[in-house]
């Protein structure tokens, strides 16, 4: 009998089961520091990044005068940070304050007898994090 069909077998229903897993219940390997200082990672929680001093240069503007400039970049506000300069005797104890765009500038009298030949440096901190130390070699004209 050609017109009779065999009844189709019902197919099994495949269902996907979604489950949540609590990450706090996982065992962490010993010897690893679990607090890496990156914040909680939740949306809205700030991740602190150390500031960076870039474009740090010293330009001789006249006999015995140097203008040191640079820029601070960071994920935080860069205006109003104190940049500490050093490395040569003329810069010891000198500071500059960053503008709203992160730039800073300081005009300094340097000795032309060779005492202030060397490497000038600049560093700042923001939110308790220290920046890199930026360096620039100077050799004042005599």
Please report whether residue 64 resides in a domain: yes
Q: Are 116 and 94 in contact (CB under 8 A)?
A: no
What domain range is 103 assigned to?
52-138
Please report whether residue 71 resides in a domain: yes
* Pairing outcome for strands 95-97 and 52-62: unpaired
Q: Model confidence over 72-91: pLDDT tens digits?
A: 998 678 899 999 999 999 99
pTM of the model: 0.67
Q: Are 49 and 39 in contact (CB under 8 A)?
A: no
Q: Model confidence over 40-66: pLDDT tens digits?
A: 555 556 678 899 999 999 999 999 999
| Number of structural domains in the chain | 1
In angstroms, the CA 69 to CA 120 distance is 11
In this prediction, what percent of the chain has a pLDDT beyond 90?
A: 58
Please report whether residue 23 resides in a domain: no
Q: Are 122 and 51 in contact (CB under 8 A)?
A: no
Please report whether residue 132 resides in a domain: yes
| pLDDT, averaged across the chain | 83
CATH number, residue 90:
2.60.40.10
Please report whether residue 118 resides in a domain: yes
> What is residue 96's predicted lDDT score, i.e. its pLDDT?
97
Mean pLDDT across the stretch 118-131?
94
Please report whether residue 80 resides in a domain: yes
């Amino acid at each position: 009998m050609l017109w009779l069909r065999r009844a189709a077998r019902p197919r099994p229903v495949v269902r996907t089961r979604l489950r949540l897993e609590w990450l706090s219940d996982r065992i962490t390997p010993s010897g690893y520091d679990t607090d890496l200082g990156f914040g909680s990672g939740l949306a809205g929680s700030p991740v602190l990044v150390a500031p960076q001093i870039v474009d740090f240069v010293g330009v001789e503007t006249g006999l015995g005068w140097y203008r040191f400039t640079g820029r601070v970049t960071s994920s935080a506000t860069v205006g109003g940070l104190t940049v500490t300069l050093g490395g040569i005797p003329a810069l010891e104890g000198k500071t500059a304050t960053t503008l709203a765009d992160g730039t800073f500038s300081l005009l300094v009298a340097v000795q032309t007898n060779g005492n202030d030949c060397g490497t000038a440096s600049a560093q700042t901190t923001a939110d308790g994090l220290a920046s890199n130390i930026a360096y620039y070699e100077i050799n004042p004209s005599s």
